A and B are shown apart, each in its own frame.
Chain A
Amino acid sequence: MQTILKIDRLTRAFGGLVAVDQVSFEVQEGEIFGLIGPNGAGKTTLFNLITGLTPPTSGKQFFLGEDLTAARPHIIATKGIARTFQNIRLFGNLSALENVMVAQHVHTRSGVLSGVLGTPTARREQQQSRDYAMELLRLVHLDDRAEAQARNFSYGDQRRLEIARALALRPKLLLLDEPGAGMNSNEKAGLSQFIRDIRAQFNLTVVLIEHHVPLVMGLCDRIAVLNFGQLIALGVPSAVQNDPAVVEAYLGE
């Protein structure tokens, strides 16, 4: 197995608060990698570092062997890292279809003139982009509402739409920030299966942040535990579950 993502002593300080503190780990290709930890442990900050939305204070990051430390976010996206957001960030006034089509930006070429003039190439590209977006919407069961504005969708539908949008980027690495937030246990079971399915279908590596312990334990191949910005445990679910440092972080002494 090949290392897809390597994080080397990555650190981010906000003033005196060190949100991510010397965190190092490697994610293997094809893995479902869980990232857990109490509130404020630095999980989302770590996602922001990986996707370039927040520049690191120090440390390095490699994606498929390439140094992407402090690369700009759209470059990182182009390299094949897509994400969803904890507090959903869809393009509210655009339709579901347009939301997904935007994420194919880097895979399409047509510029201002060819787009405005509607050259055959631009039109073909537009059609392909639309077809692929519809396919992804079908995958998340939103194809019947492709033309509806994203902001009118229910919370759960918005979460699914965000995943479809992330997939449209054709990523190699997918970062899911609390994909199960606000779902009941039935829906969460369905989500587990869905994540396994898309991993197989799109050859993905998945890193996910999740609070619901049974979901994480059942789904992830390996788990990293953060507490106060530091990596306190890393390993297979059963090992992490019984790690005294993890138990202490969650339950106190």
Chain B
Amino acid sequence: MAEFITTYGFLIVSMVFAAMLALSLYLPLMTGQLSLASPGFYALGGYIAAVMSTKVFPPTPQGEIFPLVYLLIEMLVAAVASALLAVLIGIPALRLRGIYLALATIAFVEVVRVLSLNLEITGKAIGIFGIPQPFLNKFEYMWIAAPMLILSTWFVYRLERSRVGRAFAALREDELAATAMGVNPTYNKVLSFTMGAVLAGVVGAVSAHFLNTWNARQGTFDAAILYLAFVIIGGSRTYLGPVLGGLLLTALPEVLRALAGVEFLPAFVAQFLVDGRLIIYGLLIALATIFFPQGLITPTMLKRLARRGT
């Protein structure tokens, strides 16, 4: 068990973060808004934690761990900052629809990246390193990551069954009809966008500690596409889809590596399984959209399971 944790601790925590980042993209999607802004807020949250822990809080004495309270304060600041920025960006950006909104949010991610490459406070191209550790090893990050995932999954699950969630779904189904039934489109879209941003920002804050360093390579356009893949493959119509998509697809490279280690496998196949994981990723997205257009987990499937259960 101890060996398993040292080997896979980092991966397991990464899987949990990925599931939450997929949820952060799913939240605006609940109102039908394809936003790829999550990595921007993730980067912002990370920089907030990195700057606060290395420059604002008193340095942690040698041999002691970084106080957990500080981490919680950083998460709170990241949440508030992300929310404010999301409202500021959301109100103009959410006037755009479909692919145009996606483009605008990619532009936002790029702006964050270029800013962090050039600002003094974000450490320019080098970034911020030596971010203090609140835990003894990587796996112990589960103490904070697991409750966060459970809480955010439960939150979205409950949200889907509430009055606001129904208004979101109506907007996603038919915006015009929803407004004619009294649903305020701007308010609800900005609300869902902001909730996604807050989640991404908070995950970023914890990630900065987890990764030890934070720089402009965190939260880029590639990451946005990756989160989108989690949602598309996992399922974009129920809260469980993104969670499962994030968990499974993050584990995939390790699974492929394990497969490559199987005996009697021709060397070139083993090589492909390890080096070609981006190709396999792309292939999976293409196949999933053809054979599982609604993703692996669909609301109909959940209903059927629930019926069998009772």
Whether A105 pairs with B183 at a CB distance below 8 angstroms is yes
CA of A140 to CA of B157, assembled, Å: 31
Q: In chain A between 28 and 50, which residues have their CB closer than 8 angstroms to a CB of chain B? A: none
- Choice from B159, B169, B182 contacting A74 with Cβ under 8 Å: B182
Cα–Cα, bound, A184→B220 (Å): 59
> Does B209 lie at the interface of the complex (its beta carbon under 8 Å from any beta carbon of A)?
no
Considering the complex, give the chain A residue whose CB is closest to the CB of B174: A89
B118 at the interface (CB under 8 A from A): no
Q: Does A92 sit at the interface, judged by CB under 8 A?
A: yes
Convert B160-178 into 0s and 1s, putting 1 for each residue whose CB lies closer than 8 angstroms to a CB of A.
0011111101100110111
Q: What residues of A have a CB within 8 angstroms of the CB of B183 in the complex?
A: 74, 102, 105
Q: Which residues of B, 72-99, contact A by the 8 Å Cβ criterion? A: none
Q: Is the CB of A116 within 8 A of B180?
A: no
B-binding segment of A76-84, A188-196, A205-213, A230-238 = A76-84
A132 to chain B, nearest CB (A): 13
Q: Which residues of B contact A101 (CB under 8 A)?
A: 166
- Name the contact of B179 in the complex, choosing from A73, A111, A117, A125 (C-beta under 8 A): A73
Is B20 at the interface (CB under 8 A from chain A)?
Answer: no
Chain B at the A interface: SS class:
helix
> Which residues of the partner chain B approach A98 to less than 8 Å between Cβ atoms?
166, 169
Query: Across the interface, do B166 and A169 meet the contact criterion of CB distance under 8 Å?
Result: no
**Chain B residues, Cβ within 8 Å of A111:** 164
A51 adjacent to chain B (CB < 8 Å): yes
- Quick check: is A215 within 8 A (CB to CB) of the other chain? no
Alpha-carbon separation in the docked complex, A165 to B174 (Å) = 14
Q: How far is B163's CA from A108's CA once the two chains are assembled, in angstroms?
A: 8
B6 contacts the other chain (CB 8 A) = no
Q: Does A112 contact B (CB under 8 A)?
A: yes
Q: Is residue B40 contacting chain A, with contact meaning CB distance below 8 A?
A: no
Give CA–CA (A72, B174) in the complex, Å. 16
Chain A: minimal CB distance from B21 (Å): 20
Chain B interface size, under 10 / 10 to 19 / 20 to 34 / 35 or more: 20 to 34
B182 touches A53 (CB 8 A): no
Q: How far is the CA of A85 from the CA of B180 in the complex (A)?
A: 10
Collect the chain B residues with CB atoms within 8 Å of residue A90's CB.
174, 177
Closest to A147 in B: B303
A73-B169 Cα distance, complex, nearest whole Å: 18
**Nearest chain B CB to A119 CB, angstrom units:** 11
Q: Which residue of B lies closest to A77 (CB)?
A: B182
Is B295 among interface residues, defined by CB-CB distance under 8 A?
no
Question: Does B185 make an interface contact (CB < 8 A)?
Answer: yes
Tell whether A103 is near chain B: CB-to-CB under 8 Å: yes
- Return B233 CB to nearest CB of chain A, in Å: 19
- Report how far A169 CA is from B180 CA in the complex, Å: 10
Which chain A positions have C-beta within 8 A of B176?
Answer: 53, 73, 89
**Cα–Cα distance between A90 and B176 once the two chains are bound (Å):** 10
How many angstroms from the CA of A53 to the CA of B185 in the assembled complex? 12
- Is A122 within 8 A of B173, CB to CB? no
Q: Is the CB of B177 within 8 A of A91?
A: yes
> Complex: how many Å from CA A129 to CA B164?
13
Contact indicator per residue, chain A 86-130, by CB within 8 Å of chain B (1) or not (0): 000111111000100111011010111001111000100110010
Shortest distance between the CB of A77 and any CB in chain B (Å): 4
Q: Which residues of A contact B167 (CB under 8 A)?
A: 102, 105
What chain A residues lie within 8 Å of B182 (beta carbons)? Answer: 74, 77-78, 103, 105-106, 169
**In the complex, are the beta carbons of A102 and B178 less than 8 A apart?**
yes
Query: In the complex where A98-B169, A116-B155 touch, is A129 in contact with B163 (Cβ < 8 A)?
Result: yes
With contacts A110-B163, A115-B165 taken as known, whether A94 is within 8 angstroms of B170 at the C-beta atoms is yes
22 CB-based A-B contacts, threshold 8 Å: A53-B176, A74-B179, A74-B183, A74-B184, A82-B180, A82-B181, A91-B178, A93-B169, A93-B173, A93-B237, A94-B170, A101-B166, A102-B169, A102-B170, A103-B181, A108-B163, A110-B163, A115-B163, A116-B155, A165-B181, A166-B181, A169-B181
Residues in A lying within 8 Å of B, measured CB to CB = 51, 53, 72-74, 77-78, 82-83, 85, 89-94, 98, 101-103, 105-106, 108, 110-112, 115-118, 122, 125-126, 129, 165-166, 169
| Known interface pairs A105-B182, A115-B165, A169-B181; 7 further A-B residue pairs with C-beta atoms within 8 A, sorted by A's residue number | A74-B184, A94-B173, A98-B169, A102-B169, A110-B164, A122-B162, A122-B163
